[in-house]
Amino acid sequence: MKLKTYFVDLVSERVGGETLACSDDFFAEMENLLKPGRSIFIDHKYTERGKWMDGWESRRSYGRANGREFDWCIIKLGINGVIRGFDIDTNYFRGNAPQTVSVEACVSNEHPNADTVWQIVLAESKVDAHSQNIFEITNPQTWTHVRLNMFPDGGIARFRVYGEADVNWDNFVEGELIDLASIKNGAKALLVSDMFFSDKNNLIMPGRGKDMGDGWETKRRRDPGPDWSIVKLAAQGSVEKVIVDTCHFKGNYPDTFKLEGLCSDSDDFDASNAKLAWQTIIPQTKLHAHREHLFINEITAAKTQHFTHVKLSIYPDGGISRLRVLGKRK
């Protein structure tokens, strides 16, 4: 299973993931674990402590005799949820990767402490140096924090926790408009026609895009298009307010867009999606460069109608920074 295709990274710093504490990060800081992208290597770059590494690297522990049997890092999930898999990436850690790793998890409303009860979700497992080590998980519980352990010491470049959001709907008041297309609320970008320049999930990330790479951008088409993206909403609901943001897209924003929706019990979309009974929510409408577009009166779907999925079509191609679909849960 392709974890990145079907699930979201629950510990990404972009969704609020945070490294809280570690046993040791003498050579390279624990915060590097959650950085976007894979790590880089800069030859001949050193710090006063040793070789600069783009990851989390502890000093040599010399095992149990030195009082540190293994190293650990506690991480707060940015999105509480069910864990489906891990990517423990030792990229460029060739002679200093750990021998094995394990992952524990807990549920806590505060920072974990000495009294926290941790449960094993990944038993101690071998990892390869300079590799993406993928582990699938079948535990159905919801978690708030994880603890990454490496034996006996060493370096890990990046850590991804792929899973599904478990949203506490009690945190919303009755009648509140909810961004049903927000990754933080459990939405998922399921399928796109093209994501040559950037990832499909950028479209539903929190905040405004920081640059042109922080959006969804397709390559240039040589036909009328459109390109499209299908998003599973966080919950079945109405569509009462839509924001389409072309922030940073100045010479490559789409000329027009259309938003459609449907109700489906399945997330199994493929190229045949064009044959589905998509209903128009906003008809084909003009867009402008580097602008946050607000649509309320343009919505043709009744407030009493409910959708589980939306399809954003852009004509003929281009880049959209963010999509917000605000409505009420059914």
CATH of the domain at 10: 2.60.120.260
57 with 9, same domain: the answer is: yes
176 with 123, same domain: the answer is: no
How many angstroms separate the first and last alpha carbons of the chain? 31
187 with 154, same domain: the answer is: no
| pLDDT average, residue stretch 274-278 | 77
115 with 62, same domain: the answer is: yes
Percent of the chain at pLDDT > 90 equals: 88
| pLDDT average, residue stretch 160-187 | 95
Measured CA to CA, the distance from residue 39 to residue 49 in angstroms comes to 19
Angle at 265 between CA 259 and CA 270, to 5 degrees: 60
Last residue of a domain, one of 114, 130, 165: 165
Quote the domain boundaries for residue 137: 3-165
Positions of E strands within 30-70: 46-47, 50-51, 56-57
pLDDT of residue 89: 98
184 with 293, same domain: the answer is: yes
SS3 33: helix
Measured CA to CA, the distance from residue 72 to residue 245 in angstroms comes to 40
SS3 313: strand
In the chain, the number of structural domains is 2
201 with 84, same domain: the answer is: no
Whether residue 284 contacts residue 258, with contact meaning beta carbons closer than 8 Å, is answered with yes
Rg (CA), the chain: 22
Closest by Cα among 272, 199, 194, 267 to 226: 194
Whether residue 227 contacts residue 317, with contact meaning beta carbons closer than 8 Å, is answered with yes
128 with 190, same domain: the answer is: no
Task: Determine phi and psi for 194, rounding to 5 degrees.
Answer: -165, 140
Q: Could you tell me whether strands 178-179 and 322-327 are parallel, antiparallel, or unpaired per DSSP bridges?
A: antiparallel
5: confidence class by pLDDT, cuts 50, 70, 90? confident
Closest by Cα among 56, 13, 53 to 37: 13
pLDDT of residue 6: 85
In the DSSP assignment, the letter for residue 4 is: H
Last residue of a domain, one of 145, 165, 185: 165
Enter the tokens of residue 266.
């399945």
Examine the pLDDT at 274 and tell me if it is beyond 60. Answer: no
Neighbouring CB atoms inside 10 A of 158's CB total 22
Whether residue 54 contacts residue 40, with contact meaning beta carbons closer than 8 Å, is answered with yes
Examine the pLDDT at 63 and tell me if it is beyond 70. Answer: no
129 with 247, same domain: the answer is: no
195-221 per-position pLDDT tens digit: 989 989 999 999 999 999 999 999 999
| Among 61-65, 90-94, 154-158, the least confident range | 61-65
Whether residue 151 contacts residue 98, with contact meaning beta carbons closer than 8 Å, is answered with yes
Measured CA to CA, the distance from residue 45 to residue 60 in angstroms comes to 20
SS3 231: strand
pTM over 0.85: yes
pLDDT of residue 288: 98
Q: How far is CA 315 from CA 195, 226, 257, in A?
A: 15, 5, 6
238 with 298, same domain: the answer is: yes
Measured CA to CA, the distance from residue 271 to residue 259 in angstroms comes to 18
Examine the pLDDT at 1 and tell me if it is beyond 80. Answer: no
Helix (H) or strand (E) holding 150: strand 142-151
pLDDT of residue 62: 73
Instruction: HSE, CB side, 13 Å, CA atoms: give it for residue 320.
Output: 31
Beta bridge partners of 102: 149
| DSSP string over 189-223 | EEEES--SSS-GGGGG-SSS-SSTTSSEEPPPPSS
| pLDDT average, residue stretch 50-74 | 88
Closest by Cα among 157, 165, 30, 189 to 88: 157
| pLDDT average, residue stretch 161-172 | 95
Whether residue 53 contacts residue 93, with contact meaning beta carbons closer than 8 Å, is answered with yes
144 with 276, same domain: the answer is: no
260 with 287, same domain: the answer is: yes
Average pLDDT, rounded, for the chain: 94
15 with 152, same domain: the answer is: yes
282-327 per-position pLDDT tens digit: 999 999 999 999 999 999 999 999 999 999 999 999 999 999 999 9
Last residue of a domain, one of 139, 165, 191: 165
